[in-house]
Amino acid sequence: MCDLTSRTKTLLLLLFLLASSPPFSGGEVAESCTETPLEFKCGAGEAAGGGGPVLVVREAWIYASMRLDPDSLPRCHVQEYNLEYKAGSFLQYINKQCGGQTECKFELQKHTDLQRREDLKKYRRGALRVVYDCVKKTDFHRVCGSEVNSQKGWVQSVGYPLYYLGDPVCTITLRVDEGQHIQITLTDISLREDAQPGNKGCRDSIKIQENGTELLEKCGVTNVPITVTSKGPVLNVTLTATSKLFPKRGFLGHFKALGCQTPLAPADGYMSYRNATHAEFWCCVHHAFSDTMTRRRVLECGDRTQTWNDTLPDCVDLEELLAGGNITESQYQNLVNGTTVLAQAERLRQAHIVYDLVVPAVIMSVLVLGNAAVVFLIIYCRKQGRGKKYEEGHEEAGEGRQEGEGVLEDGVRCEELESIKANPEPPDTIDNEPCSV
Protein backbone atom coordinates (compact mmCIF):
# COMPACT_ATOMS: atom_id res chain seq x y z
CA MET A 1 0.00 0.00 0.00
CA CYS A 2 2.83 2.38 0.87
CA ASP A 3 4.61 1.49 -2.36
CA LEU A 4 1.48 2.27 -4.39
CA THR A 5 1.07 5.59 -2.63
CA SER A 6 4.71 6.53 -3.33
CA ARG A 7 4.35 5.71 -7.01
CA THR A 8 1.10 7.66 -7.21
CA LYS A 9 2.76 10.71 -5.67
CA THR A 10 5.68 10.44 -8.08
CA LEU A 11 3.34 10.17 -11.06
CA LEU A 12 1.24 13.14 -9.92
CA LEU A 13 4.35 15.22 -9.36
CA LEU A 14 5.65 14.31 -12.83
CA LEU A 15 2.33 15.21 -14.46
CA PHE A 16 2.29 18.52 -12.60
CA LEU A 17 5.80 19.39 -13.77
CA LEU A 18 4.97 18.51 -17.37
CA ALA A 19 1.78 20.54 -17.32
CA SER A 20 3.39 23.59 -15.70
CA SER A 21 6.49 23.64 -17.88
CA PRO A 22 6.19 26.69 -20.21
CA PRO A 23 8.24 27.42 -23.34
CA PHE A 24 11.66 29.03 -22.81
CA SER A 25 11.84 27.65 -19.28
CA GLY A 26 14.11 24.81 -20.35
CA GLY A 27 11.51 23.00 -22.41
CA GLU A 28 8.77 20.47 -21.85
CA VAL A 29 9.65 16.80 -21.43
CA ALA A 30 8.31 13.76 -23.25
CA GLU A 31 9.31 10.22 -22.32
CA SER A 32 8.50 6.74 -23.58
CA CYS A 33 9.99 3.30 -23.80
CA THR A 34 12.24 2.52 -26.75
CA GLU A 35 9.66 0.08 -28.14
CA THR A 36 6.79 2.60 -28.10
CA PRO A 37 6.37 5.73 -30.25
CA LEU A 38 6.72 9.31 -29.07
CA GLU A 39 3.82 11.56 -30.00
CA PHE A 40 3.85 15.37 -30.12
CA LYS A 41 1.11 17.87 -30.80
CA CYS A 42 1.44 21.66 -30.79
CA GLY A 43 -1.35 24.17 -31.28
CA ALA A 44 -4.44 22.01 -31.11
CA GLY A 45 -7.07 23.19 -33.55
CA GLU A 46 -4.75 25.60 -35.44
CA ALA A 47 -3.92 25.26 -39.09
CA ALA A 48 -0.45 24.07 -39.91
CA GLY A 49 0.04 26.79 -42.47
CA GLY A 50 -0.80 29.64 -40.07
CA GLY A 51 1.27 31.33 -37.41
CA GLY A 52 0.51 28.73 -34.74
CA PRO A 53 3.14 26.92 -32.67
CA VAL A 54 5.42 24.30 -34.15
CA LEU A 55 7.65 21.70 -32.55
CA VAL A 56 11.29 22.50 -31.84
CA VAL A 57 13.47 19.90 -30.13
CA ARG A 58 16.17 20.93 -27.68
CA GLU A 59 17.54 17.49 -26.71
CA ALA A 60 16.81 13.85 -27.53
CA TRP A 61 18.57 11.10 -25.57
CA ILE A 62 18.36 7.35 -25.17
CA TYR A 63 18.73 5.79 -21.72
CA ALA A 64 19.30 2.06 -21.28
CA SER A 65 17.32 -0.09 -18.80
CA MET A 66 15.19 2.68 -17.28
CA ARG A 67 11.85 0.88 -17.12
CA LEU A 68 10.11 1.28 -13.80
CA ASP A 69 8.30 -2.05 -14.03
CA PRO A 70 9.99 -4.60 -16.34
CA ASP A 71 6.83 -6.72 -16.43
CA SER A 72 4.51 -3.91 -17.48
CA LEU A 73 4.52 -1.80 -20.64
CA PRO A 74 4.59 0.96 -21.64
CA ARG A 75 5.72 3.39 -18.90
CA CYS A 76 9.40 4.38 -18.82
CA HIS A 77 10.82 7.24 -16.81
CA VAL A 78 14.32 8.64 -16.34
CA GLN A 79 15.02 9.65 -12.77
CA GLU A 80 16.71 12.99 -12.21
CA TYR A 81 19.83 11.39 -10.75
CA ASN A 82 20.19 9.31 -13.93
CA LEU A 83 19.94 12.17 -16.44
CA GLU A 84 23.69 12.32 -17.00
CA TYR A 85 24.00 8.62 -17.85
CA LYS A 86 23.04 8.86 -21.49
CA ALA A 87 23.43 5.91 -23.82
CA GLY A 88 23.11 7.83 -27.08
CA SER A 89 21.44 10.68 -28.96
CA PHE A 90 18.82 10.59 -31.71
CA LEU A 91 18.50 14.37 -32.13
CA GLN A 92 19.20 14.42 -35.87
CA TYR A 93 16.58 11.73 -36.51
CA ILE A 94 13.78 13.37 -34.57
CA ASN A 95 14.64 16.76 -36.11
CA LYS A 96 14.38 15.20 -39.56
CA GLN A 97 11.04 13.61 -38.72
CA CYS A 98 9.38 16.19 -36.46
CA GLY A 99 11.25 19.50 -36.67
CA GLY A 100 8.95 22.40 -37.54
CA GLN A 101 5.81 20.25 -37.49
CA THR A 102 2.62 20.87 -35.54
CA GLU A 103 1.99 17.16 -34.98
CA CYS A 104 4.44 14.31 -35.12
CA LYS A 105 4.86 10.64 -34.25
CA PHE A 106 8.38 9.27 -33.85
CA GLU A 107 9.43 5.62 -33.62
CA LEU A 108 13.03 4.72 -32.87
CA GLN A 109 13.04 1.53 -34.95
CA LYS A 110 11.29 3.11 -37.92
CA HIS A 111 12.84 6.57 -38.20
CA THR A 112 16.49 5.78 -37.45
CA ASP A 113 19.10 3.47 -38.93
CA LEU A 114 19.52 1.57 -35.66
CA GLN A 115 17.90 -1.48 -37.17
CA ARG A 116 21.00 -1.86 -39.34
CA ARG A 117 23.19 -2.17 -36.30
CA GLU A 118 23.22 -4.07 -33.05
CA ASP A 119 22.21 -0.98 -31.03
CA LEU A 120 18.59 -2.07 -30.81
CA LYS A 121 19.59 -4.90 -28.50
CA LYS A 122 21.52 -2.48 -26.31
CA TYR A 123 18.66 0.02 -26.16
CA ARG A 124 15.94 -2.57 -25.66
CA ARG A 125 14.04 -2.04 -22.41
CA GLY A 126 15.42 1.48 -22.32
CA ALA A 127 13.79 4.92 -22.36
CA LEU A 128 13.57 7.86 -24.74
CA ARG A 129 13.63 11.37 -23.28
CA VAL A 130 12.97 14.47 -25.38
CA VAL A 131 13.10 18.10 -24.25
CA TYR A 132 11.08 20.28 -26.61
CA ASP A 133 9.08 23.50 -27.01
CA CYS A 134 6.05 24.57 -29.01
CA VAL A 135 7.00 27.94 -30.51
CA LYS A 136 4.87 30.25 -32.61
CA LYS A 137 6.14 30.73 -36.14
CA THR A 138 6.04 34.49 -35.65
CA ASP A 139 8.47 34.19 -32.73
CA PHE A 140 11.33 32.95 -34.89
CA HIS A 141 13.96 35.47 -36.00
CA ARG A 142 14.93 34.71 -39.59
CA VAL A 143 15.12 38.02 -41.50
CA CYS A 144 18.54 38.53 -43.08
CA GLY A 145 20.28 41.74 -42.04
CA SER A 146 18.08 42.21 -38.96
CA GLU A 147 19.24 43.08 -35.45
CA VAL A 148 17.52 41.29 -32.57
CA ASN A 149 17.47 43.10 -29.22
CA SER A 150 16.04 40.53 -26.84
CA GLN A 151 16.94 38.61 -23.69
CA LYS A 152 16.00 35.26 -25.27
CA GLY A 153 14.49 33.82 -28.42
CA TRP A 154 14.82 31.49 -31.39
CA VAL A 155 16.67 31.89 -34.69
CA GLN A 156 16.32 29.79 -37.83
CA SER A 157 17.18 29.92 -41.49
CA VAL A 158 14.62 31.00 -44.06
CA GLY A 159 12.67 27.98 -45.35
CA TYR A 160 13.30 25.75 -42.34
CA PRO A 161 12.66 22.77 -42.27
CA LEU A 162 11.99 22.27 -46.01
CA TYR A 163 14.97 24.10 -47.52
CA TYR A 164 17.44 26.92 -46.97
CA LEU A 165 18.39 29.87 -49.14
CA GLY A 166 21.77 31.26 -50.13
CA ASP A 167 23.32 33.92 -52.33
CA PRO A 168 23.53 36.45 -50.78
CA VAL A 169 24.97 35.75 -47.34
CA CYS A 170 22.35 35.93 -44.58
CA THR A 171 23.40 37.48 -41.23
CA ILE A 172 21.31 37.97 -38.08
CA THR A 173 22.79 40.12 -35.30
CA LEU A 174 21.93 39.27 -31.69
CA ARG A 175 22.31 42.05 -29.10
CA VAL A 176 21.73 42.15 -25.33
CA ASP A 177 22.44 44.75 -22.64
CA GLU A 178 25.90 46.09 -21.97
CA GLY A 179 27.59 43.93 -19.35
CA GLN A 180 25.75 40.78 -20.45
CA HIS A 181 26.86 37.81 -22.55
CA ILE A 182 24.98 35.76 -25.15
CA GLN A 183 24.67 31.99 -25.07
CA ILE A 184 23.37 30.45 -28.29
CA THR A 185 22.62 26.74 -28.70
CA LEU A 186 22.20 25.25 -32.17
CA THR A 187 19.82 22.30 -31.86
CA ASP A 188 19.51 21.43 -35.55
CA ILE A 189 22.02 21.80 -38.38
CA SER A 190 21.43 20.24 -41.78
CA LEU A 191 23.67 21.87 -44.41
CA ARG A 192 25.49 20.65 -47.47
CA GLU A 193 29.11 19.64 -46.93
CA ASP A 194 31.89 20.02 -49.48
CA ALA A 195 31.27 17.70 -52.40
CA GLN A 196 34.94 17.14 -53.24
CA PRO A 197 36.72 14.32 -51.37
CA GLY A 198 39.66 15.28 -49.19
CA ASN A 199 38.51 18.87 -48.76
CA LYS A 200 37.81 19.61 -45.10
CA GLY A 201 36.15 22.94 -45.77
CA CYS A 202 32.40 23.56 -45.83
CA ARG A 203 30.59 24.34 -49.05
CA ASP A 204 27.61 25.71 -47.11
CA SER A 205 28.07 26.64 -43.47
CA ILE A 206 26.74 28.49 -40.46
CA LYS A 207 29.19 30.82 -38.71
CA ILE A 208 28.99 32.52 -35.33
CA GLN A 209 31.24 35.56 -35.00
CA GLU A 210 31.98 38.19 -32.36
CA ASN A 211 33.75 41.42 -33.35
CA GLY A 212 35.17 39.73 -36.43
CA THR A 213 36.42 36.70 -34.47
CA GLU A 214 35.01 33.37 -35.63
CA LEU A 215 33.71 31.31 -32.70
CA LEU A 216 32.13 28.51 -34.73
CA GLU A 217 31.87 27.26 -38.30
CA LYS A 218 29.75 24.17 -38.91
CA CYS A 219 28.22 22.27 -41.79
CA GLY A 220 26.76 18.81 -42.40
CA VAL A 221 24.50 17.36 -39.68
CA THR A 222 24.74 17.59 -35.91
CA ASN A 223 23.41 14.96 -33.53
CA VAL A 224 24.03 16.86 -30.27
CA PRO A 225 23.32 20.50 -29.36
CA ILE A 226 26.21 22.93 -29.95
CA THR A 227 26.54 25.83 -27.50
CA VAL A 228 28.60 29.00 -28.00
CA THR A 229 28.99 31.81 -25.45
CA SER A 230 30.11 35.33 -26.29
CA LYS A 231 32.42 37.57 -24.28
CA GLY A 232 30.40 40.68 -25.04
CA PRO A 233 26.82 41.71 -25.77
CA VAL A 234 26.82 41.17 -29.57
CA LEU A 235 26.92 38.04 -31.77
CA ASN A 236 26.53 37.59 -35.53
CA VAL A 237 24.91 34.42 -36.89
CA THR A 238 25.68 33.99 -40.60
CA LEU A 239 24.50 31.40 -43.11
CA THR A 240 26.71 31.12 -46.20
CA ALA A 241 25.45 29.04 -49.12
CA THR A 242 26.62 28.67 -52.72
CA SER A 243 23.18 27.85 -54.14
CA LYS A 244 20.10 30.03 -54.13
CA LEU A 245 18.05 27.12 -52.78
CA PHE A 246 19.06 23.73 -51.42
CA PRO A 247 16.66 21.00 -50.17
CA LYS A 248 17.98 20.54 -46.63
CA ARG A 249 16.59 21.87 -43.36
CA GLY A 250 19.13 24.62 -42.68
CA PHE A 251 19.66 25.53 -39.03
CA LEU A 252 17.67 26.17 -35.85
CA GLY A 253 18.79 27.45 -32.46
CA HIS A 254 17.79 29.33 -29.34
CA PHE A 255 19.69 32.03 -27.46
CA LYS A 256 19.52 33.74 -24.08
CA ALA A 257 21.30 36.52 -22.22
CA LEU A 258 23.66 35.65 -19.38
CA GLY A 259 23.88 38.14 -16.54
CA CYS A 260 21.48 40.66 -15.10
CA GLN A 261 19.30 42.71 -17.40
CA THR A 262 19.87 46.43 -17.08
CA PRO A 263 17.12 47.94 -14.90
CA LEU A 264 15.11 50.87 -16.13
CA ALA A 265 16.40 54.19 -14.83
CA PRO A 266 14.30 55.54 -11.95
CA ALA A 267 12.06 58.54 -12.43
CA ASP A 268 14.10 61.75 -12.03
CA GLY A 269 17.27 59.64 -12.05
CA TYR A 270 19.83 58.09 -14.39
CA MET A 271 22.38 55.27 -14.70
CA SER A 272 25.98 56.46 -14.52
CA TYR A 273 27.83 53.13 -14.86
CA ARG A 274 27.22 49.47 -15.74
CA ASN A 275 29.42 46.40 -16.14
CA ALA A 276 28.94 42.64 -15.75
CA THR A 277 28.71 42.73 -11.94
CA HIS A 278 27.59 46.23 -10.85
CA ALA A 279 25.34 49.10 -11.89
CA GLU A 280 25.39 52.61 -10.43
CA PHE A 281 22.36 54.94 -10.40
CA TRP A 282 21.94 58.54 -9.31
CA CYS A 283 18.98 60.78 -8.57
CA CYS A 284 18.85 64.26 -10.06
CA VAL A 285 19.73 67.33 -8.00
CA HIS A 286 17.26 67.99 -5.14
CA HIS A 287 16.00 64.40 -5.49
CA ALA A 288 16.68 61.22 -3.50
CA PHE A 289 15.67 57.59 -3.32
CA SER A 290 12.56 57.32 -1.17
CA ASP A 291 13.76 54.43 0.98
CA THR A 292 17.28 55.63 1.82
CA MET A 293 17.08 59.39 1.20
CA THR A 294 20.36 59.31 -0.72
CA ARG A 295 21.16 60.26 -4.31
CA ARG A 296 23.33 57.26 -5.16
CA ARG A 297 22.62 53.52 -5.28
CA VAL A 298 24.85 50.64 -6.44
CA LEU A 299 23.32 47.31 -7.47
CA GLU A 300 25.22 44.02 -7.55
CA CYS A 301 24.40 41.16 -9.93
CA GLY A 302 24.34 37.65 -8.46
CA ASP A 303 26.39 35.07 -10.37
CA ARG A 304 23.96 32.20 -9.84
CA THR A 305 20.63 33.95 -9.63
CA GLN A 306 21.43 36.51 -12.35
CA THR A 307 19.30 39.04 -10.48
CA TRP A 308 20.15 42.32 -8.78
CA ASN A 309 20.59 42.32 -5.02
CA ASP A 310 18.40 45.37 -4.45
CA THR A 311 15.41 47.20 -5.84
CA LEU A 312 15.49 50.53 -7.67
CA PRO A 313 12.65 52.80 -6.53
CA ASP A 314 11.88 56.14 -8.16
CA CYS A 315 13.52 59.32 -6.94
CA VAL A 316 11.37 61.74 -4.95
CA ASP A 317 11.45 65.53 -5.04
CA LEU A 318 12.84 66.87 -1.77
CA GLU A 319 11.04 70.17 -2.19
CA GLU A 320 7.71 68.36 -2.47
CA LEU A 321 8.51 66.37 0.66
CA LEU A 322 9.33 69.61 2.45
CA ALA A 323 6.14 71.29 1.25
CA GLY A 324 4.08 68.25 2.31
CA GLY A 325 5.60 68.19 5.76
CA ASN A 326 7.26 64.82 5.28
CA ILE A 327 10.69 66.24 6.14
CA THR A 328 11.75 69.24 8.19
CA GLU A 329 13.68 72.27 6.98
CA SER A 330 16.77 70.99 8.77
CA GLN A 331 16.49 67.59 7.09
CA TYR A 332 15.96 69.26 3.73
CA GLN A 333 19.07 71.39 4.14
CA ASN A 334 21.08 68.39 5.25
CA LEU A 335 19.95 66.38 2.20
CA VAL A 336 20.55 69.23 -0.24
CA ASN A 337 23.89 70.28 1.23
CA GLY A 338 25.03 66.73 1.80
CA THR A 339 25.43 66.90 5.58
CA THR A 340 23.67 63.64 6.44
CA VAL A 341 25.73 60.68 7.56
CA LEU A 342 25.30 58.85 4.27
CA ALA A 343 25.95 62.00 2.26
CA GLN A 344 29.09 62.69 4.24
CA ALA A 345 30.21 59.12 3.64
CA GLU A 346 29.62 59.63 -0.07
CA ARG A 347 31.55 62.89 -0.07
CA LEU A 348 34.36 61.17 1.81
CA ARG A 349 34.38 58.40 -0.76
CA GLN A 350 34.59 60.94 -3.57
CA ALA A 351 37.39 62.71 -1.69
CA HIS A 352 39.25 59.42 -1.49
CA ILE A 353 38.76 58.99 -5.23
CA VAL A 354 40.25 62.46 -5.79
CA TYR A 355 43.12 61.69 -3.46
CA ASP A 356 43.79 58.26 -4.97
CA LEU A 357 43.42 59.19 -8.63
CA VAL A 358 43.66 62.91 -9.31
CA VAL A 359 46.58 63.77 -7.03
CA PRO A 360 48.86 60.98 -8.35
CA ALA A 361 47.94 61.95 -11.90
CA VAL A 362 48.91 65.59 -11.24
CA ILE A 363 52.18 64.54 -9.63
CA MET A 364 53.06 62.29 -12.54
CA SER A 365 52.25 65.08 -14.99
CA VAL A 366 54.52 67.50 -13.13
CA LEU A 367 57.35 64.96 -13.05
CA VAL A 368 57.03 64.29 -16.78
CA LEU A 369 57.01 68.01 -17.62
CA GLY A 370 59.95 68.63 -15.27
CA ASN A 371 61.99 65.86 -16.87
CA ALA A 372 61.17 67.22 -20.31
CA ALA A 373 62.33 70.72 -19.24
CA VAL A 374 65.60 69.32 -17.85
CA VAL A 375 66.28 67.42 -21.06
CA PHE A 376 65.54 70.54 -23.11
CA LEU A 377 67.95 72.64 -21.00
CA ILE A 378 70.69 70.04 -21.32
CA ILE A 379 70.33 69.94 -25.10
CA TYR A 380 70.23 73.77 -25.25
CA CYS A 381 73.34 74.14 -23.09
CA ARG A 382 75.23 71.61 -25.18
CA LYS A 383 74.38 73.48 -28.35
CA GLN A 384 75.51 76.79 -26.77
CA GLY A 385 78.79 75.23 -25.61
CA ARG A 386 79.51 73.85 -29.07
CA GLY A 387 78.87 77.33 -30.57
CA LYS A 388 81.32 79.05 -28.22
CA LYS A 389 84.01 76.47 -28.87
CA TYR A 390 83.57 76.95 -32.59
CA GLU A 391 83.94 80.73 -32.34
CA GLU A 392 87.03 80.46 -30.11
CA GLY A 393 88.62 78.01 -32.50
CA HIS A 394 87.86 80.29 -35.42
CA GLU A 395 89.53 83.28 -33.67
CA GLU A 396 92.62 81.26 -32.75
CA ALA A 397 92.93 80.10 -36.33
CA GLY A 398 92.84 83.78 -37.52
CA GLU A 399 95.55 84.85 -35.09
CA GLY A 400 97.70 81.96 -36.19
CA ARG A 401 97.48 83.05 -39.81
CA GLN A 402 98.49 86.61 -38.90
CA GLU A 403 101.50 85.42 -36.86
CA GLY A 404 102.54 83.20 -39.74
CA GLU A 405 102.58 86.13 -42.15
CA GLY A 406 104.73 88.17 -39.73
CA VAL A 407 107.27 85.41 -39.39
CA LEU A 408 107.39 85.13 -43.15
CA GLU A 409 108.25 88.81 -43.52
CA ASP A 410 110.85 88.61 -40.79
CA GLY A 411 112.29 85.61 -42.49
CA VAL A 412 112.60 87.49 -45.78
CA ARG A 413 114.39 90.37 -44.06
CA CYS A 414 116.75 87.99 -42.39
CA GLU A 415 117.61 86.41 -45.76
CA GLU A 416 118.34 89.79 -47.23
CA LEU A 417 120.68 90.56 -44.36
CA GLU A 418 122.41 87.25 -44.78
CA SER A 419 122.78 87.93 -48.51
CA ILE A 420 124.31 91.33 -47.81
CA LYS A 421 126.71 89.81 -45.35
CA ALA A 422 127.74 87.16 -47.85
CA ASN A 423 128.38 89.68 -50.60
CA PRO A 424 129.54 92.82 -48.89
CA GLU A 425 130.13 95.94 -51.02
CA PRO A 426 132.86 98.39 -50.27
CA PRO A 427 131.57 101.16 -48.19
CA ASP A 428 133.08 103.76 -50.50
CA THR A 429 131.82 102.32 -53.72
CA ILE A 430 128.60 104.06 -53.55
CA ASP A 431 130.02 107.23 -52.05
CA ASN A 432 132.98 107.41 -54.46
CA GLU A 433 131.15 106.42 -57.58
CA PRO A 434 130.67 109.98 -58.89
CA CYS A 435 134.33 110.74 -58.20
CA SER A 436 135.57 107.96 -60.51
CA VAL A 437 134.10 109.84 -63.41
Say how far apart CA 182 and CA 179 lie, in whole Å. 10
- pLDDT at residue 162, as a whole number: 94
Say how far apart CA 59 and CA 69 lie, in whole Å. 25
Phi, psi of 52 (to 5 degrees): -70, 175
Q: What is the pLDDT of residues 144-161, one digit of tens each?
A: 999 999 999 999 999 999
Tell me, what amino acid is at 126?
A: G
Find out whether the peptide bond into 263 is cis, omega within 30 degrees of 0: no
Q: What is the pLDDT of residues 18-64, one digit of tens each?
A: 333 333 345 789 988 888 899 999 875 454 456 689 999 999 998 87
Torsion angle defined by CA atoms of residues 423, 424, 428 and 429, in that order, rounded to the nearest 10 degrees: 10
User: By C-alpha distance, which of 314, 303, 304, 305 is closest to 281?
Assistant: 314
Given a cut of 70, whether residue 407 has pLDDT beyond it is no
Q: What predicted TM-score, i.e. pTM, was given to this entire model?
A: 0.68
Half-sphere exposure (CA, 13 Å, Cβ side) for 330? 0
Find out whether the peptide bond into 161 is cis, omega within 30 degrees of 0: yes
- DSSP assigned state of 351: H
- pLDDT at residue 410, as a whole number: 47
**What's the chain's average pLDDT?**
79
User: CA 278, 279, 284: angle at the middle one, nearest 5?
Assistant: 155
